Structure 1
Amino acid sequence: MTTSVTVWGLAPGGPRAHAAAHAIQGAHVAQAAHATQTLGNGSVTDPNISYVGRWDLSSGTAAVPNWTGGYLQTAFTGTTVKVKVRDAVNFYAGVDGGADVFYAGVRGTVDLTPRPLPQGNHTLRISYRSGDTVFQGLVLDPGAGTTAPQVPAKLIEFVGDSITAGALTDRLALDSYAWKTGEQLGMRHTQIARSGYCLVGKDGCTGLATQFFKTASTGDRNWDFSRYQASAVVINLGTNDIGHGVTGAEFQAAYTGLLRDIRATYPNAVLFAVQTLKKRYVTETKAAVSARNSAGDAKVSYVDTTGWLTDGTDYEDGNGHPNESGHTKFAGRLAPIVAAKLGAAATEAAAVAPGAPGDPNVKFTGRWDTKTSTTAYTPYWAGAYVRTGFTGRTVKLKQRDAIDLWAGIDGGPATFYDEAKGTVNLTPTPLSAGNHTLQVNYQVVAGSYHGDAVFQGLALDSGATTFTPPTPKKLIEFIGDSITVGTTTSQNARTAYGWLIGERLGADHTQIAQGGAALVDTADDRMSLEQQFTKLNPNAITPDWDFSRYQANAVVINLGTNDVGRGVTSAQFQAAYSSLLRKVRAAYPNAWIFALETFRGRFVPETQAAVNAAVSGGDAKVSFVDTTGWLAADELSDSVHPNDKGHRAIADRLAPIISAKLG
């Protein structure tokens, strides 16, 4: 039996509160983990807990939801669940998609299931209303645990003031048009909003033109935007600026700048500039949108709200705050506009057959060419893989011409398929009926090996479908040569230290590496990673890779082994290393970068000097890693390349170093 539990609440503040249960309409989270998934412990750092919004997780024992409308969700097994809170707090809790119950002024360990649930799988969502707003973890049945929830792929962010925060309504954030729009669209949603806030910081009013980029509604700590990417952003600002002496020119300049800066933060999001309900700074808002359109940003739209709400019936007061009915009307008008802009992609995705290359539930890790062909996606570089969840009892892989590949099901050992082609049956013995996961990766196509590495889709049982698989929250990228590829190991990229470290740390991983690659670009045509790091294909100068496709949390560079003997001077090497560090930092603004000493000790002073120069230049997230003594003679297959044992030894040394920096 499958059941779900939902828990949510409201953001801090607000004059009133419900004391009884109220039904919530909208999308609820469904559990999508399979039976073999590792159970989590319900702690603040449990990777199976998904935090939506700007949560501060730095303490490790108390998660703090910054701004308004932040919530968390997870799935769990067993029959009961309790939430640990510190001091008195208010929140809402709902069980199995039913009515939400308001918990007022509770503290300690709060029982959310006084009547035990049926045995099975459940889901949970929590958001706090007011009080000591910290989440300290869950208490589950003995032997029970959390599993990764199935969460919507898209996220919509709302930027605004008290109206966006839902001020004066009974349930605040949950009654606001922002929450209602997100639920209506079936998207994750965040509300970067606070009562009294302006667009322009002036005359004592906090300006969201700058505060939007911060972790909390107060303070100067920058938010780590690698934590999530918005698919759409709705801005509703200007109502409060009029009372703080903000001129039209100031407002227009600030709005244009905010749209520009949000675009830099969310390269693929659709942006909506909403006319304020009181019609303030309309001309300036339109002009800001026009300026961005003229600059080539076609994904910015102005939203005219004229006539959406009626005075006297849809407002709580005379200052422009909608009541619950008004927020519902607002969401009813806004949601179709957002859906229409996102609709082309959504319609296209809906038309894709389950398991096809364009299926949004099929996830591609690494640098895959998804544009040249809609029917055959090609992985470039080493260590790329494809992963999905699927239902039914069998799965087959559609291949074109012969390729060596590995396929693993339900987290089990990967099976090697030699020179596979056509429709490859990955389940000769049918699985039990239910949810399953699949991961496939191809032999590295380089050097003397030229298999046909393309993904043409999956063949599933009649009536079966795919679902989004549990996805790691972090990604580690490894940049290097044949050593990073895993040359001379038993399974090539799969038995290289980069793959091993990613798997050990529970992170996605990529290997931007090729045999024979060097750092410095010289006349001998040996591939230069300083040049090719930014490319889709290691062997082509175009096109550039689209770094908005993923963001790395850590990058490991292991280069210099092949630069010796090619006439590369110390000055050339150091300059190229510094250039590569700059390119990596530009691609991944928040990643920790590790510069490894090559295992043969080549260009060590120059590597250290490049790291020191980056740190001196203000980049505090760059480290030199001394690898002296990491490999013994029996851990090499020749004088250069580690064997399987050697790669395991590297992973044993390097994984704790990366883990310590990533926390």
Structure 2
Amino acid sequence: MPRLRALFATIGAALAVSVTAPATAAAATDVPVTDPGLGYVGRWTTESAGAVPHWAGAYVSTGFTGTTVKVKARNAVNFYASIDNGPDVFYAAVKGVVSLTPTALPAGTHSLRLSYRSGDTIFQGLVLDSGAKTVTTALPSKLVEFVGDSITYGALTNKLALSAYGWQVGEKLGVRHTQIARSGYCLVAASGCVGQATQFFRTDSTGDAAWDFARYQASAVVINLGTNDAGHGVSGPAFQAAYTKLLRDVRAKYPNATLFAFETLKKRYVTETKNAVAALGDAKVRFITTEGWLTTGADYADGDGHPNDAGHAKIAARLAPILAPTLGAATLGAAAGTGLPTDTNIKYFGRWDTGSPSAYVSEWAGAYVVTGFTGTTVKLKQRGTVDLFASIDGGAFTAYKNVSGTVNLTPRPLSPGNHVLRVSYRPVAGSYHGDAVFGGVTLDAGATTFAAAVPAKLIEFVGDSITVGQLSSAQALTAYGWLVGERLGQAHTQIAVGGACLYPSADGCLGMRDRFLKTGLDAATPDWDFARYQASTVVVNLGTNDVGHHVTGAQFQAAYVTLLQRIRAKYPNATILAMETFRKRFVTETQNAVAALGDARIRFVNTEGWITEATDTVDNVHPNDAGHRKIADRLAPLIG
């Protein structure tokens, strides 16, 4: 409870929750829980007090006209609401008639989704503008049920069910989803542990009322059970027999569904689970191995028990592609089009920390985001103040300085149709420390994202402030690396930061020998997952700063050899170019490092005569815009 109170306090400080008295019938449109425009997902029942969600992850969706929407709540309740596919906003301990639109929306048709967290979880309907109405929205035809315990429930995550892997997988694949899960549950009923072998077939997580499976048919069922049974003395044979029976009983309820038996993250009853799957002899009942999905400690909220938000995101990233074929390839391609950071139609170039599903962060220079979208307008969702650049439909990048919140990129609406957006954030340099966090996009009502065509090849440029583009007019966007990538029609990113050395010197210079392996700038950030993308070319430009930090030639050469070895190990098929620094520092050591590897695809690049310090730099060190263009003119043909 202290943790929950702290969470409410934090959110309460950030959100102004408007609670108003019930409006009169003359002033507003009352929407009852039986309104045909409301779509319920998960196990709901309609009772005298209202519509009641049972189990975790149930939600209600609808479209509505007008400019405002309010939710009726009987007693204090905690819930999440998303309007027009925006983020799920938390409303803590609210009751009565709760305004979700303290700032009125533009007139038109909008969408709403509600999901309850805790408290008096009874949905009593909506209140709309006078004359407004609900609009039936087409919910996805396919539904996935996730069956489990506290892990499937999302215990210890920021948003519980909404942060859990099941919710995330459903959102990624553009299907309906619900979590038949509760903390502490087992497969086999035991003293102090409710057994899902029987409770799954009930309406609620407690009680004996049978669920009416005619209400909906699941397309897939993912079962993650067994973590708690070991602590309640359930034997292997008893577990296997119960699992076999559960699979048969679920098959009877969902004759056309694909059933997935999920290996528990703690590797409990693995053999018994496999045997249960094999016992059915059903090609649409499958075992899922989870080996290597999570890292103990880093991906857990409590060491190795409950995944944290990042852990759930990793599970979802592994699980979604496994489920996608059973749900139809078109479903995965459509990817819901939510505009949220997790929308698979949005493509990320560079190193992005995706630990929070609501805010993706890139600390290195030259990272960018690409998405297609329909409609006539697009807005960015930003957390804190930042400088950014945006290009629509291949046009010139427009600079947006010191912006935050909802950033309108189309004050003049576009022509109706398909469009492509690209966004890049100003890199940290000098005194500038903007909040380079991508929170997604907001589109017209009824509009959606789509996967835009992107290059297959990617170039990584590794370096210091010169590679960042520091002191050029648009920083990373006017740096030679960005220019080369654009000229060659290849994706690109700059793993670079101002002041960086190659060797991690004793006086604290950031050493790219080691930092190249990291997701972000700080040594404490997670190791980068090089499986996220494979660079086809890596260009290294390091050594300018090492001299000023008393790095010896021997130290530099050894560090360069190590960096080249690491790049080769991470990108076995890439061409690696070691550039001669423009100030001619550590030239012999760089050449020796290249020679030491004896790799024909690791080459030294002589930069003699490429730029003139007097005219092509700002300060005899950092190239100006013309200098970067000259470097790109020389470097691009070497990459081809």
What TM-score, normalized by structure 2, do the two folds share? 0.50
TM-score by length of 1: 0.48
